[in-house]
């Protein structure tokens, strides 16, 4: 019998689930820092829920007849105990589950935020992945239009802080209350039945289960009939209309521009009253960078004491893509200083001490380490120092150690504080010199 040799295949990540590589780290960090600053400015608190939840949370929470639950969720049966589990496709349902489970609204409303990976089995393309990342906010226990306006203002503040000042627009709609939706649904179904021959497969399938979703069709062939479909906004009663006007008034008072899009319904069943999306034309078909709205019945629907709420989620990858489009990518600087040294143990020990002292004062330092265990040449150390992105190299040899000196070399532009590009100084002056130099050069870039 001949034995087949199993050549190991090339290992790759799962389709649509991407590695985020070190060269993109600065961009992610810039985004994460900016978003956290914005969230703190509004007093939102972080909540972290598990990535895996019981499947029933999403079927009950998001709705059975939605794109997500029908065809996008990653569900599996736990082979050890038979539980039906799902990788979260979004996080509102899970946050609400946690709020109910831990009775977080017992002492009043809560403003919460989350950030992390979500999973949807979609066709991967630019801006659409199977593992992607969202930041979201949930304002729970607030019924008025002020909360809706607040969460929209938060987005605007974030775009401003990121430098995304053009090319974004806010679309707004109101989905009214359940009675208003029922009245509209009745009319909508009658209208669609009259044009049944024009409906595509999806619209026919959803005609009686989720006709509202037919409103936001992206099928160009159906756009014609969708323009004349009965609009939910025309079915709003006084209370819903007043809420919607309240949101618009606050947005206008804060100089937030918006357009009302009566066809905006959002992909999840839990919304009522205000819904909104932030859209750009710069990302092709995947132009929605954030979406949200009010979901006053979800807490009750998932078994909690009824409480109103609203929130949004934004797609981090799409926003980073927009930052790249707008050339708003920060430099990928890993460290401020690279320490280069050559000599025996004494020099090596001194190099370690100097590097630690610099780190004590908040300076980021890479200390050269050889790759093969043999001391590296001065030239190869300098090559690495240059490639590191550090602003300065601190250089140390036997002579410097004996004289208690260091040599500083400016590696990037802007050596305003160094005559020529090198400077020799006593070791005790190094910290202060570099602290000033680094602050000055970062404020110049």
Binding region for ligand ATP (CB under 6 A): 90, 120, 122, 127-129, 132, 134, 267, 286, 288-291, 313-315, 317-318
In angstroms, give the least distance from the CB of 185 to ligand ATP.
20
In angstroms, give the least distance from the CB of 128 to ligand ATP.
4
In angstroms, give the least distance from the CB of 75 to ligand ATP.
16
Distance (Å, whole) CA 250 – CA 264:
20
In angstroms, give the least distance from the CB of 368 to ligand ATP.
40
Task: Give the residue with the Cβ less far from ligand ATP, 279 or 299.
Answer: 279
In angstroms, give the least distance from the CB of 274 to ligand ATP.
14
Task: Give the residue with the Cβ less far from ligand ATP, 158 or 396.
Answer: 158
Calculate Rg over the CA atoms of the chain: 28
In angstroms, give the least distance from the CB of 281 to ligand ATP.
14
Task: Give the residue with the Cβ less far from ligand ATP, 88 or 120.
Answer: 120
Task: Give the residue with the Cβ less far from ligand ATP, 88 or 368.
Answer: 88
- Burial of 405: CB neighbours in 10 Å, binned 0-12, 13-18, 19+: middle
Task: Give the residue with the Cβ less far from ligand ATP, 248 or 288.
Answer: 288
Task: Give the residue with the Cβ less far from ligand ATP, 184 or 213.
Answer: 213
Task: Give the residue with the Cβ less far from ligand ATP, 170 or 408.
Answer: 170
Q: How many CB atoms lie within 10 A of CB 70?
A: 14
In angstroms, give the least distance from the CB of 20 to ligand ATP.
13
Distance (Å, whole) CA 205 – CA 256:
38
In angstroms, give the least distance from the CB of 435 to ligand ATP.
40
Task: Give the residue with the Cβ less far from ligand ATP, 134 or 441.
Answer: 134
Buried b (16+ CB within 10 A) or exposed e, 115-144: beebbbbbeeeebbbbbbbbbbbbbbbbbe
In angstroms, give the least distance from the CB of 442 to ligand ATP.
31
Task: Give the residue with the Cβ less far from ligand ATP, 35 or 355.
Answer: 35
In angstroms, give the least distance from the CB of 49 to ligand ATP.
16
Task: Give the residue with the Cβ less far from ligand ATP, 232 or 430.
Answer: 232
Q: Which residue is nearest to ligand ATP (CB)?
A: 315
């Amino acid at each position: 019998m001949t034995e087949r040799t199993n050549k190991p295949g090339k290992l790759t990540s799962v389709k649509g689930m991407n590695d985020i590589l070190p060269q993109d780290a600065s961009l992610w960090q810039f985004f994460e820092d900016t978003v956290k600053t914005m969230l703190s400015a509004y007093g939102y608190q972080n909540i972290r829920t598990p990535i895996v939840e019981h499947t029933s949370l999403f079927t009950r929470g998001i709705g059975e007849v939605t794109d997500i639950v029908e065809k996008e969720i990653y569900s599996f049966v736990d082979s050890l105990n038979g539980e039906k589990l799902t990788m979260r496709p979004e996080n509102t349902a899970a946050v609400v589950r946690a709020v109910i489970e831990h009775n977080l609204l017992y002492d009043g409303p809560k403003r919460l935020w989350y950030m992390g990976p979500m999973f949807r089995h979609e066709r991967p393309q630019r801006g659409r992945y199977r593992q992607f990342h969202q930041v979201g906010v949930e304002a729970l226990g607030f019924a008025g239009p002020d909360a809706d306006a607040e969460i929209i203002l938060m987005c605007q503040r974030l775009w401003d802080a990121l430098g995304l000042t053009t090319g974004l627009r806010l679309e707004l709609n109101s989905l009214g209350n359940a009675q208003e939706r029922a009245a509209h649904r009745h009319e909508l179904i009658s209208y669609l039945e009259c044009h049944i021959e024009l409906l595509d497969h999806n619209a026919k399938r959803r005609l009686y289960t989720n006709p509202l979703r037919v409103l936001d069709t992206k099928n160009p062939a159906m756009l014609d009939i969708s323009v004349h479909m009965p609009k939910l906004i025309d079915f709003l009663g006084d209370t819903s209309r007043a809420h919607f006007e309240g949101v618009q008034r606050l947005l206008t008072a804060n100089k937030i521009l918006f357009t009302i899009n009566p066809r905006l319904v959002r992909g999840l069943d839990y919304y009522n009253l205000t819904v909104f999306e932030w859209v750009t034309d710069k990302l092709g078909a995947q132009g929605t960078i954030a979406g949200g709205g009010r979901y006053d019945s979800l807490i009750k629907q998932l078994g909690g004491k009824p409480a109103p709420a609203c929130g949004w989620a934004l797609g981090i990858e799409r926003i980073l893509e927009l930052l790249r489009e707008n050339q708003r990518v920060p430099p990928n600087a890993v460290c401020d200083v690279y320490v280069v040294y050559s000599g025996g143990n004494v020099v090596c020990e001194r190099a370690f001490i100097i590097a630690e002292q610099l780190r004590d004062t908040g300076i980021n330092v890479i200390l050269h380490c050889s790759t093969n265990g043999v001391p590296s040449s001065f030239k190869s150390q300098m090559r690495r120092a240059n490639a590191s992105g550090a602003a300065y190299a601190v250089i140390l040899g036997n002579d410097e150690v004996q004289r208690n000196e260091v040599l500083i070399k400016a590696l990037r532009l802007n050596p305003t504080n160094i005559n020529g590009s090198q400077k020799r100084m006593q070791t005790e002056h190094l910290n202060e010199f570099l602290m000033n130099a680094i602050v000055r050069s970062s404020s110049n870039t």
